[in-house]
Amino acid sequence: EAQVTQNPRYLITVTGKKLTVTCSQNMNHEYMSWYRQDPGLGLRQIYYSMNVEVTDKGDVPEGYKVSRKEKRNFPLILESPSPNQTSLYFCASSDRGSNIDTQYFGPGTRLTVL
């Protein structure tokens, strides 16, 4: 089944404790992206990747890191999480890196930073 998976689905952590949210897609898509969803703000793009080893900042990259060592995986790293990073996070993928078409979204990761 074609899908985007994220782990963990729920995470409660404390300020400053490094964490990684994994994202994997099995559709051989070139493009992958991370978004955060906050009430009243919609989805905001954090980082995106057009292909392996090619990443770029979205609109809200501060406090986040990403890497794209393999085509299927695009982990989101919070080196020192803070309470303002409490949010619902979505990973997405699309089959063209140059002109993004339909994005396929993962189920979301609800992160709480205390």
- Under the rule (CB under 8 A), what is the footprint of another protein? 31, 33, 35, 40-45, 48, 50, 56, 58-59, 90, 92, 97-103, 105-108
For residues 21 and 3, what is the distance between their CA atoms, to the nearest angstrom?
Answer: 16
| Closest CB to another protein among residues 46, 78 | 46
Distance from C-alpha of 94 to C-alpha of 41, rounded to nearest angstrom? 23
> Minimum CB separation from another protein for residue 9, in Å?
12
Q: Which is nearer to another protein, 85 or 93 (CB)?
A: 93
